[in-house]
Structure 1
Amino acid sequence: MLQVACRRSSAQGTALCESAWNQARFGDLHTALISADSGLKDFPQSDSELHWRFFVLKAEVLMRQGRYEESLAFSAQSLPPQFANSDSAVWQLLSRASSFTYLERYPEAERALQSARSLATSSQPQLVGEVLLRLGTLSSLKWDLDAAKSYFLQSLQFAQQSSDRFLEASALGSLGLVSARMERYGESTDWNTKALEIDRSHGLSSLATKAEGNIGWNYYLVGDFENALSHYDLAIKDAIRSGQEQDHAIWLLNSSQVFYDKGDLSLAEKYALDGLQIAERLNDPSNTIYAKQNLALISAATGQTALAQTYVDESFRLEGPNPDQQRQMYTRLIDGQLALLKPDLFKAERTLNEITKDPAATVSLQWEALATLAQVHAAQGKVAIAETEYSRSIDTIAKAQESVEREEFRLSFLSSAIRFYDQYVNFLLQQNRPLDALKIADLSRAQTLEHGLSSSPNPRAGSARPAPGTNVLALATRPQEIARRLGATLLFYQLGQKSSHLWLISPSEIQLHTLPDEAEIDALVASYRKTLLEDPRDPLESGNPAGKNLYEMLIQPVEKSIPTGSRVIILPDGALRSLNFESLPVYRSNPHYWIEDVTVSVASSLSLLSHVRNERPPRSPDLLFFGDPDPPTTDYPRLADAAEEIRAVQKHFNKKSATLFLNKDARASAYLSSEPGKYSYLHFATHGVASVAKPLESAIILTREGDSYKLYARDILQHHLNAYLVSISACDGAGKRNFAGEGLIGLSWAFLRAGAHNVVAGLWETSTASTPQIMDELYGGLTAGKTPAEALRSAKLSLIHSKTKAYRRPFYWAPFQLYSGS
């Protein structure tokens, strides 16, 4: 019988091998493995060079899939002497070294890599860059970060000199990872972004999943949970497509950690269990331990202390004889926290003390261990020691936030640390020290805004906060003096997981009231906002349970201490930042909105308020006005009443003192070159866009100029202002993204950060029909000598009492909110 099928020729085999390596590089590991097996079948002879090329290819693919034990078992066979100096011999050592590395068999990994380095240097110099890359990975996992960075930089240089884009992208991504471990977050993002650009442009999906995930991890480390989850989701999808099971497990577990920190324990558990299943199937000790750490935290949070302890004990057992010191320290932290819950206070104290004194502990481990140790000592009745530890924990957090270079990262930083401020506040309240508790609550507020203002080229005031390393209660801020100087009652809200608090601060007294937990308040705020935006009826006439409950919850406990017609400054927290307190209905014999009783403005912190002066409007005002730009796209049509708004504002200023950029002249470059810092009033009658993912990319929409038509928040804060008032009639000018401690971040925050004394901005999309009347009344009041708060209140009341019944609804007047700077 004739054989009709034959094996591939040598040329065909070479082509298949090159194609399979490319498949592996581009992330198609499944197809690459099939090609490797096909090549081994076609070239089974041990004296064939192609046989060994397919052999090392299969070992490398198995390693990249996370099948480390399988890769090691397969690649254990020695190459024949004639191939001892070949590139296949180097790749065999590299694949085995990586498998040893990820299995945490570090001595074996080190030996294999040194052999690979020697062989590559002498016989296969084109592979030296790959050896350096894997030496860096080994050093990084051993937490020798300086050595790791050095290896990665050498590998990057080698890749660029040899025009190896795959190696270049690998080295860039690895530099991003090690920079994050070194807590250099901006640097990490830069490296990872460069890596991802190469990955995407060259179709390197096997590397794209790593870059996406590493960017997500960097966002997580600075507390930006939303962007972290967004990048993890992309990384998970890439890992599934490319068959990278270990990476799939990592991004599942990282997502679990984010969901845990967000309080979504159900999703946190699901992702942790899915990641654990993959890690155990791959016999991956690192991710198995990581999964069990997550599950221990989740179990403890749901009251399953015994189950949590089981996960911790398994994590210790899996570490083996050569434990990862950082990972084991985190397991010890969880063990100490469980001991506090049981309570085994002696064990908890010993365990946590060891971590706080360990110089190798990361900054985040330090502050969490200190805060937990403070709880232990408080439970033991060692109040003074507990307070010292709380203070050290907060000081450590503040130093870490201060060291973050990029403003966008400082904004989100407290998201993962805000609970430690809350713990300290609750501790002080238990000691019956409400004033000290208020000071600590204020310490968490507007740190990025105050940092920016105090470090600007022309700061109007220094910080009222204590310097790092000093007593955190040694504040220059005296709340009652602020209230007295401003002639106002201050309402300071702090929302908490179990209960919330309200401090009333007046010139004569400080009151403390306990409120419901954050979840209950959040739900009411969301319900009331939905009513204001979607229900065409007036809440005063239709009745609104959410609005009624909010007034009774937030204002009624202190209403007798707030004189009618007086000034009130709200210092909100959490979801309360998206609520206009003026719009709360007062259902009495004469139903009305709270704006009828008081003059309201909003402030970020007591510390910033300590620098606010009672300023009357400037006597010789000048105006910088941008309005009615030419529509740059169909998404932003011309505003129907922009011309009327221009007339309404312009008539209150002398022609010589008003600089207007209208229509085609209303361009971003005109603002940036107009010396905005010399004007007392800035006004924008334009569209606006609030970015949730990147709040500093919120923008005022202006006339197209080349490819650009946006004045970004990030550009606004780069140009110092001394404006008495900035008015933004754009949509969502207050922003949509709420950061722990910092508040809503968007255009209004950018103008305050740039130095504006006061900003009027919208909490939702404003009505173009009612805006001209609001602005006419606002500037008319300012011209008459009213403060911005008084003038804005009068403008709103003019709508409420107008003949147009629809304008009485909060939808038309309540989006505009006055924010005080410093």
Structure 2
Amino acid sequence: MMLKVQGISKLKGLSVLVLAAALASGSAAASPCRVTVTEARTGLEAAAAGLQAGDCIRAWRRGADGEALLIADPLDLIVVELEQAPRGGVQLKVERDGQPSWLPIASGNWGVQALPELNAGDRTRLLDWAQTVASDPTLPFPPLPVDEPRARASLALWRAGRLGESGAQASDALYGAIIEALQTTLDPTAMAVLGHSRCVQNLQGWLFAQAIERCGAAAADFQRLDLPVAALRARQAQTSVLRQSGRFAEAEAALTTLEQTVAATVPESLQAIGLMHERAALLRQQERLDEALAVAERGLARLNQIGSADRLRLSFTSTLGVIQRARGEHDAAEALLQQAVVLSERIAPDSIQLARDLNNLSLIQWDRMDMARAQQTLDRALDIKRRRGASAVDLAATLGNLALIAQPLGRIDDAERYINEALAIYRQGEPTLVLANTLTTAGRIADNRGNSAAAYAAFDEALTLYRQLAPGGSLEAWAHHFKAGKLAEDGRLDAALGEAKTAVRLQRRISPGGRDLSFGLLRLAEIQRDLGQLKAAAVAFDETIALRRKHSPDSQSLADALYGAGTVAGALGQLDQARSKYCEAVAMLERQRLRWTQSRDDLLELGRNNVDVYRACAVAWLDADDPVAAFDVLEQSRARLLLDNMARHRAELIAALPKALAEQWRALQELAATLDSEQFQAREQALQRAVQAQAPAQAALLLTRPLPWAQLRERIGADTVVITHLHDHERFWIVVAQRGERAPRFVRVGAPADEILPRAHRFTQMVRTPAGDQDSLDAEGRWLYQQLLAPVEALLRAGDRLLWIADIELSLLPPGALIAADGRYLIESRALRQAASLSSAALARPPRQLAAGSQLLAIADPAANRLSLPSMARWRSTGASDELPALPGAAAEARSIVSLYGGTARALLGSAATERAVRSLAPQARRLHFAVHGLIDPLRPLDSALVLAPGDGSVEDDGLLLAADLLAGPPLTADLVAVSACDLGSGRVYPGEGLLGLRYALHAAGAAEVVSSLWPVVDQAGAQLMTRFHRELHAGQGTDRALQIAQQDMIDDHGVRDRVVRGVGGLITQGRASARVHPFYWAGFVLDGGLD
């Protein structure tokens, strides 16, 4: 028979008699087990005491001399946990492998899941179901022949525990169904246990309205049953719900009453310490951070005295980390949050709890702008949550953080996707502070997207929720802050000023001297500056800088504040102070790059956000009559990523170093993300000195940094003139650099920057349109020549070659198509080459002689005429035509070029032009020539690709040679890579990096020189130009001279009439002829290379 216990303390006499009779008869070990443990969660007290799955729990007692009281089913066990364990001294009689023993177990959460009495077959079916349901929450619960009400209730509890937070609504429905089915037959104690379990499940699943009601009902039920400690547990859960739903005043009152009751009832219990954690969490959400810190530290100290309860210790550790982050104590916060992760990995590996702790850790990594680790941490958290079937709200928390990281990095599509998924989850429940927070983030993303209506709607909805749930708090302040930014962006400065002042007022009250205040002050200062309130703006900027030096030194946020202060100082005529602010910001950003270890896309976004800072510093040095300093800063702003890749793909140089130096160099690269700036610089400088002393040829390539003018001026060829440009918001300069000069020359242009740059863009578009008005094109080409080159013509000698380093906005402009006063194109008088920066040109490797092998490998007209491979789906989805037009001239082009080189050349044509074949043969070729289609991704340029013949379909031979593959693969050894493909030179223009795409990747992967096209190439015209180019090259001309001659040859050749364009999207037809061949046919070919 199964004993039914209405409340253990009421029937202890009967329990003792029954248990004693069983023990006396010696049948206890052989009797059926009424409570079988299926899980004792690591880190909770039951597991710490030695309880484990498979144990049979028979009884409990208080102390070694206490009476043994029967535990008849899992509901009895829960009552002992809730009511008796917090009073201390509880021991459980556990039977394992037929041997009974008494285990002492601490007060608190036991983390035990147990089954009632079942036959062996049913128990096995349930355990098999439990293993499978973790990966398939839809798996139906196996039907069992159980009619006894308490057994059915126990099974419902066990089942709900297995579903866990992955099915908050499903678990709640399960509770509701079992309560309705058993309410007329189940005893009051069992009903109270079910009600309390349902309240806890509602809390964990963020069903706040239900949780408040059900936790209150459970507390009342326990109180009526004379189970006062269990009632306190239910009231504590209700208090937590009030806090998490933003009802702080009610939570404060409830918590105060609870603390008084617990102090009088179980003052030394874990429940009392748990209330300290609840108090610390409430104070944190109220922004009473110093009080929260003190309470949390006291609670953790008391917990350490007990020596167990790792789960509660984990909660304290994590909360302390969050508090320290809010206080701006980043080192302490990171240490605590990392400790929380370590604890989670030990007590709950691969658990949802671990994912939550990773989520918290990612935020401090984000604060530090360590985007690589933040992304990695969040990816791990999201993976765990998806695999472990986390609740929707748990998933939403990580999705929201992913959106936070993606948004400032410019990955707006990703950010929008993450935040919309999170919003959809939160909107399914009742309004909460988390929903308001997510709306604030959604508003910021909509703002970046340019959707003003959506941005204002999100901000206003968030503010409404904050005023309802947590008025006057830090979260409301942030919403005002972001709305102010949007208003300022839209030119509504007076309204923006009001929002910014409200944000700062709230932040001063909540956390004076805190990190949040620095953000509010920066926004306020920027708006005051734009309104002309310069003195007020200067005060706000200075306060911002002081706070950020304290909370986030060497950070992007401090650089932003310094730049803003510089703009105000400049407007006030304080030029020295302005320069000091600008250039301190530049130095800080350069140090920040050492710790910016995310993907190349994220490195590029660092340049995107800060190009104005570098320009401001360069212009400030120019205003101070220091052109050398100005040029050095200009070099810092350009091609940093290219330089990094040039070094990264010099494995043979590293191998050539003395072994000790090679190991030191590798170690330095691995430590770049973890050392602070001073440590890194000290190690870098020491290593650089050692390498320069022992291997000077490799030094500049292995520790690549932009070279100063003092080193660059002697590397410029005697017949080479470097032309680049600098501008601020109004002024525009031509920059001329020549060998041996004391300083580069900065020549101010009369036209303003805001006229030159739009006209340069218009000219670029006109050149790419062969059917356009040639007279208008020529007029624009003449005007731009007068602005970009004519003012420095006197510095150029006959025969000088030009190295053109395009400023950011001029990256797509073909300089050879500019028209001089005498009517000639620039390419007719000057050989041209381009580079991302003078440093990258100076550090580019010179052509090398190969011991043996092919002089040239030509790849042309691969057998791929449809975007049908799965790997090509991304381009079809962007609207590209599914058809790849045939390239009738490509094969002939390749054969013609191969014939120039004779037996030292080889062609891969048609189906032979596979990725695997190219990778195999390319290392032996001195020159590579591609006549193929190109696929250009302007948003993620390193995903751009050359289309080759489909091979075996593997990742290594799928017919697409990606830019990223080139950078990740072995270094190219070719002196020259020439490509006449659709839009090869195109790509996304990044400030500081020039033009990216396959052209960039080929150069960075090790090609000494790259010839490519800036737009689709007419098939026959491209073949003619490239054939002439290779003829001149093979005859001994330098690369730039050879390309100049080939382009000159095209200018007056009216035989160009082929109309098939290489690229994706079909045909382009052009039928008019003019006195000279339109630049469309020849000006798009550009040479990237070094200074030789």
Q: Look up the match of 2:965.
A: 715
Q: How many Å apart are 1:577 and its aligned residue?
A: 0.7
Structure 2 matches for 1:629-640, cutoff 5 A? 629-631=862-864, 633-634=867-868, 635=882, 637=884, 639-640=887-888
Alpha-carbon distance change, 404 to 796 in structure 1, aligned in 2, over 3 angstroms: same
Structure 2 matches for 1:759-798, cutoff 5 A? 759-798=1010-1049
Partner Cα distance (1:237, 1:324) in 2: 34
Selected match of 2:420 from 233, 237, 259:
237
Q: Look up the match of 2:651.
A: 457
SS in 1 for 2:550: coil
Indicate conservation of the 8 Å contact 1:424/1:437, yes or no. Answer: yes
Alpha-carbon distance change, 328 to 600 in structure 1, aligned in 2, over 3 angstroms: same
Partner Cα distance (1:343, 1:53) in 2: 60
Alpha-carbon distance change, 806 to 674 in structure 1, aligned in 2, over 3 angstroms: closer
Q: Look up the match of 1:734.
A: 985
Alpha-carbon distance change, 464 to 750 in structure 1, aligned in 2, over 3 angstroms: closer
Selected match of 2:343 from 145, 149, 154:
154
Partner Cα distance (2:942, 2:1033) in 1: 30
Q: Look up the match of 2:123.
A: none
Alpha-carbon distance change, 444 to 265 in structure 1, aligned in 2, over 3 angstroms: farther
Indicate conservation of the 8 Å contact 2:205/2:391, yes or no. Answer: no
Counterpart code for 2:862: P
Q: Look up the match of 1:313.
A: 501
Indicate conservation of the 8 Å contact 1:36/1:58, yes or no. Answer: no
Alpha-carbon distance change, 130 to 343 in structure 1, aligned in 2, over 3 angstroms: closer
Q: Look up the match of 1:652.
A: 900
The answer to whether residue 664 in structure 2 is matched with residue 414 in structure 1 is: no
Alpha-carbon distance change, 555 to 453 in structure 1, aligned in 2, over 3 angstroms: same
Structure 2 matches for 1:512-661, cutoff 5 A? 512-514=747-749, 520-521=755-756, 523-533=758-768, 535-537=769-771, 539-540=773-774, 543=777, 550-558=784-792, 562=796, 566-584=800-818, 593-611=825-843, 622-631=855-864, 633-634=867-868, 635=882, 637=884, 639-655=887-903, 657-658=904-905, 660-661=907-908
Alpha-carbon distance change, 369 to 286 in structure 1, aligned in 2, over 3 angstroms: same
The answer to whether residue 201 in structure 2 is matched with residue 52 in structure 1 is: no
- Worse overlay, 39-48 or 275-284: 39-48
Partner Cα distance (1:549, 1:21) in 2: 75
Q: Which has the larger radius of gyration?
A: 2
SS in 2 for 1:569: strand
SS in 2 for 1:365: helix
Q: Look up the match of 2:514.
A: 325
Q: Look up the match of 2:404.
A: 217
Alpha-carbon distance change, 208 to 530 in structure 1, aligned in 2, over 3 angstroms: farther
Q: Look up the match of 2:27.
A: none
Alpha-carbon distance change, 354 to 184 in structure 1, aligned in 2, over 3 angstroms: closer
Alpha-carbon distance change, 431 to 137 in structure 1, aligned in 2, over 3 angstroms: closer
Alpha-carbon distance change, 349 to 171 in structure 1, aligned in 2, over 3 angstroms: closer
Alpha-carbon distance change, 236 to 220 in structure 1, aligned in 2, over 3 angstroms: closer
Counterpart code for 1:706: G
Counterpart code for 2:533: K
Structure 2 matches for 1:37-436, cutoff 5 A? 48-59=192-203, 79=219, 80=222, 81=227, 84=230, 92=238, 95=241, 98=244, 100=282, 101-104=284-287, 137=322, 140-142=325-327, 143=330, 144-156=333-345, 158-160=347-349, 164=351, 166-167=352-353, 169-197=355-383, 205-221=392-408, 224-225=409-410, 227=411, 229-243=412-426, 246=433, 249-250=436-437, 253-254=440-441, 272-273=459-460, 275-283=462-470, 285-298=473-486, 307-319=495-507, 320-322=509-511, 325-337=514-526, 341-344=532-535, 347-348=539-540, 350-352=542-544, 354-355=546-547, 357-358=549-550, 360-361=552-553, 363-375=555-567, 383-384=575-576, 386-406=578-598, 408=600, 409-436=602-629
- Worse overlay, 571-580 or 239-248: 239-248
Q: How many Å apart are 1:716 and its aligned residue?
A: 1.4
Q: Look up the match of 2:936.
A: 690
Q: How many Å apart are 1:246 and its aligned residue?
A: 5.0
Q: How many Å apart are 1:397 and its aligned residue?
A: 0.4
- What whole-Å deviation, never above 9, does each CA across 1:598-649 have from its counterpart, x for those lacking one? 3222111122334469979999982244344332854575643331122022
Alpha-carbon distance change, 352 to 138 in structure 1, aligned in 2, over 3 angstroms: closer
Q: How many Å apart are 1:573 and its aligned residue?
A: 2.0
Alpha-carbon distance change, 576 to 800 in structure 1, aligned in 2, over 3 angstroms: same
- What whole-Å deviation, never above 9, does each CA across 1:657-702 have from its counterpart, x for those lacking one? 33554444433344445572x5431222333322334322222233
Partner Cα distance (1:799, 1:350) in 2: 60
Indicate conservation of the 8 Å contact 1:755/1:821, yes or no. Answer: no
SS in 2 for 1:601: strand
Partner Cα distance (1:673, 1:148) in 2: 48
- Worse overlay, 770-779 or 361-370: 361-370
Alpha-carbon distance change, 377 to 124 in structure 1, aligned in 2, over 3 angstroms: closer
- What whole-Å deviation, never above 9, does each CA across 1:350-378 have from its counterpart, x for those lacking one? 52552364254461232233334445555
TM-score by length of 2: 0.62
Indicate conservation of the 8 Å contact 1:721/1:755, yes or no. Answer: yes
Partner Cα distance (2:918, 2:457) in 1: 50
- Worse overlay, 387-396 or 121-130: 121-130
Indicate conservation of the 8 Å contact 2:361/2:377, yes or no. Answer: yes
Q: Work out the number of aligned pairs and report it.
A: 790
- What whole-Å deviation, never above 9, does each CA across 1:110-140 have from its counterpart, x for those lacking one? 969969x979x99999999888766665555
Indicate conservation of the 8 Å contact 1:477/1:610, yes or no. Answer: no
Indicate conservation of the 8 Å contact 2:205/2:393, yes or no. Answer: no
Partner Cα distance (1:359, 1:145) in 2: 13
Selected match of 2:734 from 486, 502, 518:
502
Q: Look up the match of 1:814.
A: 1083
Partner Cα distance (1:644, 1:781) in 2: 18
- What whole-Å deviation, never above 9, does each CA across 1:175-221 have from its counterpart, x for those lacking one? 43343234332222222233444556759654454444433433455
Counterpart code for 1:715: D
- Worse overlay, 792-801 or 628-637: 628-637
RMSD of aligned residue pairs (Cα, Å): 4.9
SS in 2 for 1:501: strand
Counterpart code for 2:914: R
Alpha-carbon distance change, 392 to 725 in structure 1, aligned in 2, over 3 angstroms: same
Indicate conservation of the 8 Å contact 2:196/2:218, yes or no. Answer: no
Q: Look up the match of 2:634.
A: 441
Indicate conservation of the 8 Å contact 1:212/1:231, yes or no. Answer: no
Q: How many Å apart are 1:172 and its aligned residue?
A: 4.4
- What whole-Å deviation, never above 9, does each CA across 1:85-129 have from its counterpart, x for those lacking one? 9996785576566553555455569969969x979x999999998
Q: Look up the match of 1:3.
A: none
Q: Percent of aligned pairs with the same residue?
A: 21
- Worse overlay, 798-807 or 36-45: 36-45
Q: Where in structure 1 are there 5+ consecutive unaligned residues?
A: 1-8
- Worse overlay, 493-502 or 12-21: 12-21
Counterpart code for 2:1080: F
Alpha-carbon distance change, 604 to 34 in structure 1, aligned in 2, over 3 angstroms: same
Q: How many Å apart are 1:541 and its aligned residue?
A: 5.2
Counterpart code for 1:343: L
- What whole-Å deviation, never above 9, does each CA across 1:289-341 have from its counterpart, x for those lacking one? 22322344455667766655533432233233445822122223445556665
Counterpart code for 2:834: V
Alpha-carbon distance change, 500 to 568 in structure 1, aligned in 2, over 3 angstroms: same
Q: Look up the match of 1:5.
A: none
Partner Cα distance (1:109, 1:39) in 2: 43
Q: How many Å apart are 1:396 and its aligned residue?
A: 0.8
Q: How many Å apart are 1:450 and its aligned residue?
A: 1.6
Alpha-carbon distance change, 475 to 544 in structure 1, aligned in 2, over 3 angstroms: closer
SS in 1 for 2:971: coil
